[in-house]
């Protein structure tokens, strides 16, 4: 038997958390993809680093994009559900989809954020390269900011995952 | 209303997953804490690295210890429940404890494993130090092994988290 549909206030709260997640992930994505160093060390050598030179940041990018795609889909579903009173996926399927979707997305965002934090912390300790210390510091601080925004996105998705677990139809 | 108690086969399956998690985390803990390099580079310099010099590995250690403590507690609870037919925490509390415990532990293990993988991958690319290349490679491979074992622990705990979500008493 399908559980009773969640009340309007629950749906609004879920929508707020999803929009907050999406905004955090979008800002994180923009910050991450525009993060680079390109500086002349001397007249011959240019020091170049982009976010995709660091594997931890690449993984963060992948999880952020997947998280955004899922969150956008869920925002569309919630708006449809609020405006029409029906759900796009009928019956138990909708609750099961929310449950597994929130669970997997929250794991992805948690691991993406953890990987980026760990790599940034380790790179901060590496030996400074003369002439570009400030640029590297700025680059890594932006890395921390991206990881923190993904962490906020994770916290929101984890809360939504708790809600969707309580809404799950009983089968065991 | 509390949901019906899970069948004996469900309890045995859960116990198997918990024991597997505990064994993986224990092996990971032993490998991690014994992982070190101590080698003479020349007659004056000794190259020394321990796992706790790397922040990603310290975090993995913390999550592994917390994961082991929680898993051990749950193994004791499950054995008590199988042998006496009763649960230590009565009523809905037991299911709610399982739900939040499994959820938090799975997030901890996922992030610990991700942090260790990311740091190891990044350190593998750093410039080799003459004379200790092989030792560093061995040290980092052990880091990968620890992260992989924590990942297996995470997968088991995530499966348990799905079970405990389905056993959750309905409140929404």
Min mean pLDDT across A54-63, B37-46, B156-165 is at B37-46
**Residue A44 falls inside a structural domain:** yes
**Residue A2 falls inside a structural domain:** no
Which residues in chain B have their CB less than 8 angstroms from residue A104's CB? none
Per the CB < 8 A criterion, the answer to whether A136 and A37 are in contact is yes
Convert the pLDDT of each residue in B82-107 to its tens digit.
Answer: 888 777 776 677 888 999 999 999 99
**Residue B171 falls inside a structural domain:** no
> CB distance A166–B170 less than 8 Å?
yes
> CB distance A103–B162 less than 8 Å?
yes
> CB distance B118–A59 less than 8 Å?
yes
Closest chain B residue by Cα to residue A123: B122
Q: pLDDT grade, residue B6 (50/70/90)?
A: low
Q: Does the pLDDT at position B112 exceed 60?
A: yes
What does the pLDDT read at residue B1?
47
Which residue has better confidence, B5 or B18? B18
Instruction: Return the residue in A114, A143, A156 with the most chain B beta carbons within 10 A, the one to mutate for interface testing.
Output: A114
In this prediction, residues A74-88 reach a mean pLDDT of 85
**Residue A172 falls inside a structural domain:** no
Range of the domain at A121: 8-166
**Residue B7 falls inside a structural domain:** no
Q: Does the pLDDT at position B171 exceed 60?
A: no
ipTM: 0.90
Q: Does the pLDDT at position A172 exceed 60?
A: no
Asked if the C-beta of B95 comes within 8 angstroms of chain A's C-beta atoms, the answer is: no
Per the CB < 8 A criterion, the answer to whether B103 and A104 are in contact is no
Which residue has better confidence, B43 or B162? B162
- E strand or H helix at A79: helix A55-84
Which residue has better confidence, A65 or B168? A65
Question: How far apart are the CA of A81 and the nearest CA of chain B, in angstroms?
Answer: 17
Tokens of B10: 């469900």
Which residues in chain A have their CB less than 8 angstroms from residue B116's CB? 118
**Residue B89 falls inside a structural domain:** yes
What total of structural domains would you count in chain B?
1
> What backbone torsions phi and psi does residue A7 show, to the nearest 5 degrees?
-70, 165
**Residue B157 falls inside a structural domain:** yes
Q: Calculate Rg over the CA atoms of chain B.
A: 20
Long-range Cβ contacts of A48-54 (<8 Å, 24+ apart): A49/A136, A49/A139, A51/A143, A54/A119, A54/A123, A54/A143, A54/B122
Q: What is the mean pLDDT of chain B?
A: 89
**Residue A171 falls inside a structural domain:** no
Min mean pLDDT across A111-115, B123-127, B128-132, B164-168 is at B128-132
Tokens of B61: 């250690």
Counted across chains A and B, CB pairs separated by less than 8 A come out at 94
What does the pLDDT read at residue A94?
84
């Amino acid at each position: 038997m399908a559980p009773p549909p969640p009340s309007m206030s629950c749906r609004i709260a879920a929508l707020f958390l999803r929009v907050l997640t999406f905004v955090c992930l979008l800002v994180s994505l923009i910050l991450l993809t525009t993060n680079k160093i390109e500086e002349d060390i001397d007249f011959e050598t240019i020091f170049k680093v982009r976010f995709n030179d660091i594997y931890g940041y690449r993984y963060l990018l992948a999880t952020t994009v997947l998280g955004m795609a899922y969150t956008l889909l869920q925002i569309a579903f919630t708006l449809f559900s609020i405006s029409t009173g029906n759900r796009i996926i009928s019956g138990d399927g909708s609750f099961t989809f929310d449950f597994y979707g929130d669970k997997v997305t929250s794991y992805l965002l948690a691991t993406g954020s953890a990987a980026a934090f760990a790599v940034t912390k380790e790179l901060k300790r590496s030996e400074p390269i003369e002439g570009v210390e400030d640029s590297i510091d700025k680059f890594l601080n932006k890395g921390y900011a991206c990881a923190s925004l993904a962490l906020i996105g994770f916290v929101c998705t984890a809360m939504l995952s708790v809600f969707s677990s309580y809404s799950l139809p009983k089968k065991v």
